[in-house]
Every structure is written in C-alpha cells, then in structure tokens.
Amino acid sequence: MPVDHTKNIIEIKNVCFAYSGDQWVLRNINLDVHQGDYLGIIGPNGGGKTTLLKIMLGLLKPQEGTVKLFVNKIGYVPQKAVNFDVNFPLTVKEVVTMGRYGEKGLLKSLDKNDEVIIKKSLDQVEMWGYRDKIIGDLSGGQEQRVFIARALATRPEVVILDEPTTGVDEQSQKKFYALLKKLNEELNLTLILVSHDSNVIVHEVTEIACINKTIVYTIDPKNFLKMKYHKH
C-alpha cells in the first residue's frame, strides 16, 4: 500500500514526559504517522521508545504537548516478556479470542461474526492450523504470530509492535518480518515497529524515526543507509 503523506493518522506535537519531577524521559517530541506507514522506531536503551508507544496508546499522559489520533482502534503487540505467562494452559484460539473480548467487552457473549474474525485473524498470520495447540508449546516466532492475531482480532487500523523479535531465532525473524510486510502491503495496515536492530529493520520499513529522549531524526530507509555509509 502506498504511503499517503497527506493523511496523518497520529500527530504528536511538542510532547514532553517525565515519570517524576523534571527528569524528562521524552522532550519536545514531534512525529506524524501517515496512512500506510510502516514506521520503524530505533534508539538506545532508555531513550524513551516504549514510553512513546504508551503515550500513543493512551496508557500514559504527557505533561506537555498533544497527541491526536485519527483512528478508532490501535492493536498492540507488547514485548514477549510482558505478554503473559505462556505456561498458563490457554490454546492459541483462546488467546486470539481475548482480542474479541477486548473490543466487545468481557461480559458480552461472542457470536458467529466473532468466530469469523478469530479464524480470519489466525489465517492472516498462518496459524489457524495451530488453533488447538497450547500457547506455551509453540516456538517464540509462532507465539508472536499468535499475539499479532490477537491484535488483529480487535480489527485495528494501526498495529504497534514493541521489540517483537526479542528471543526469536534468526530464521523465524525473517518469516516474521515477511509477515509484517504482507500485513502492511496487502491488508493496508499501518505498522509502528520499535526495534533495537536498525540493521534489520532498515530493509523492512518505509520510514525510520530515531529517538533518544527527543527525535534525533526521521528519515526514509534509503537515506538512512547512505547516512550510515557516509559515517564510515
């Protein structure tokens, strides 16, 4: 899907955030996410990447600045370590079903339409055949596909992924990134991916933002590569 630079779906203006006092984690953040973007966010540990995601998701409120969302639903795939206890005996289908309850509410019963959405979400990540498997019995790469399916089950317009390939072997990572590209290009999903591995994601994304408490730069991947080579 071509990126529509005339249509912002997230606008972040002059955002500042501190967990306490004047110890700013983020300062004067300005960032636009466009319809169809596959945005990679990179930067050092402690640079504020995850904090920025939580502000986009509405989990944190900035002390200064504004965040405007022009979408109704954002899907979220957190870091693998904080998803939940994979030893808990849930099946793949039950994990994805959580996404439907997340949209409808825990007290609402699911209907045939929900079943269609659950199957479609698992089909889109090529995991329907694993629907009765226990989540803890899957490989790391398969688990992350299921968590993406759970996010897709909320029928989002944007999916945010926070370090999704941590602890996933290299071969599974390649398949995982191929899946993300398909979701972006074929399903018209806008993706925001936080990663520490700029060498990998520069070949995947349509735009890169480097954050170290403030926006160091936003740049398209081709110019990012030129910039890296010029430094050396």
Give the closest residue to 99 by CA, choosing from 55, 34, 156.
Answer: 156
pLDDT, tens only, 179-198: 999 999 888 899 999 988 78
* Joined tokens for residue 84: 């939940």
Quote the radius of gyration of the chain (alpha carbons, Å). 18
Query: Which residue in 146, 53, 26, 27 sits closest to 98, CA to CA?
Result: 146
| Amino acid symbol at 14 | N
pLDDT of 217 reads 80
Q: CATH for 1-72+160-169+179-232, among 3.40.50.300, 3.30.460.10, 3.40.50.720, 3.40.228.10?
A: 3.40.50.300
- pLDDT class of 53 with cuts at 50, 70, 90: very high
- Say how far apart CA 61 and CA 18 lie, in whole Å: 10
Mean pLDDT of 160-187: 86
**What is the β-pairing status of strands 190-194 and 207-211?**
unpaired
Question: Residues 110-164: pLDDT tens digits?
Answer: 889 999 999 999 999 999 999 999 988 988 888 889 999 999 999 999 999 998 8
Segments making up each domain of the chain, as ranges: 1-72+160-169+179-232, 83-156
Q: Which pLDDT score is estimated for 169? A: 79
Q: What residues contact 143, with CB distance under 8 A and at least 6 apart?
A: 80, 83, 86, 135
User: Which pLDDT band, with edges at 50, 70 and 90, does 174 fall under?
Assistant: confident
d(CA 115, CA 133) in angstroms, rounded, equals 17
pTM for the whole structure: 0.88
Residue 232: per-residue pLDDT: 43
pLDDT value of position 227? 64
